[in-house]
Copies of this chain bind each other. A is one copy, B any other.
Amino acid sequence: MSHKTQEPVITKISDLPLEEARWVTLKKIDYVDQVGKARSWEVAQRKTRGKSGVDAVAMGNILLHPSRPASTLLAAVREFKEETGYDCVVKSVSPAQSADPGMTNANMQLVMVEVQLGEGDEEPEQRLEDGEHIQRVIVPIAELYERLVEYSKQERMVVAAKLFHFAAGMEFARTQTYFK
């Protein structure tokens, strides 16, 4: 973004009654458990799930450039093209996964995409909606894990758990000695 920007500031946190909530809600699930006992569970739920049955998609992305290391782009990831400006090719689509089981019924899929750049390609323009403030951060894939750990140490920064777990899995596979 080229606007002059500032850190966002929280001005108020208040209880949100169900009848005023537009995007999320709470449900009580009554169930009979594995040994026949009646129990209940509390969950948060998105109100926005559509026909696809999937609440969100995460885009694992690889940027390939003739003379730079294969990299990945950190950005909020619902709308890759709009938010990053890059065209991409889908390489794989995961099954639906439970975003945060126990807490919510929200689910998601992991889509891996590849972006092929040319030597002289300039950074494309983002098309952000009003209120979206998304910074593009490009990180060499080989350095992803250590960069996320570094970010986690900074104030006002928290890394999304799914991204962190993907990076931790990569790091584990690269450094483990349990199997070849």
Please list the residues of chain A having a beta carbon within 8 angstroms of any beta carbon in chain B.
1, 3-18, 20-39, 42-44, 46, 58, 60, 62, 64, 69-70, 94-101, 103-104, 106-108, 110, 112, 131, 133, 140-142, 149, 152-153, 158-174, 176, 178-179
Docked complex Cα distance between A33 and B27 (Å): 30
A178 touches B98 (CB 8 A): no
Query: Is there contact, CB below 8 Å, between B17 and A17?
Result: yes
Let me know if B106 and A159 touch, CB within 8 A.
no
Residues of chain B lying within 8 A (CB to CB) of residue A62: 178
Q: Please determine whether A106 and B103 come into contact, CB atoms closer than 8 angstroms.
A: yes
Do B10 and A15 touch across chains, with their CB atoms under 8 A apart?
no
Bound CA–CA A110/B165 (angstroms): 8
Q: Chain B's nearest CB lies how many Å from the CB of A99?
A: 5
Min CB distance A179 to B, Å, is: 5
Q: Mostly helix, strand, loop or mixed at chain A's interface?
A: mixed
Is there an interface contact between B31 and A11, defined as CB atoms closer than 8 Å? yes
A134 to B: closest C-beta gap in Å:
10
Partner of A33 from B39, B42, B133 at Cβ < 8 Å:
B133
User: Using Cβ atoms and an 8 Å threshold, which residues of chain B touch A31?
Assistant: 8-11
Chain B residues contacting A9 (CB-CB under 8 Å) are 31-32
- A1 contacts across to B, CB distance below 8 A: 34
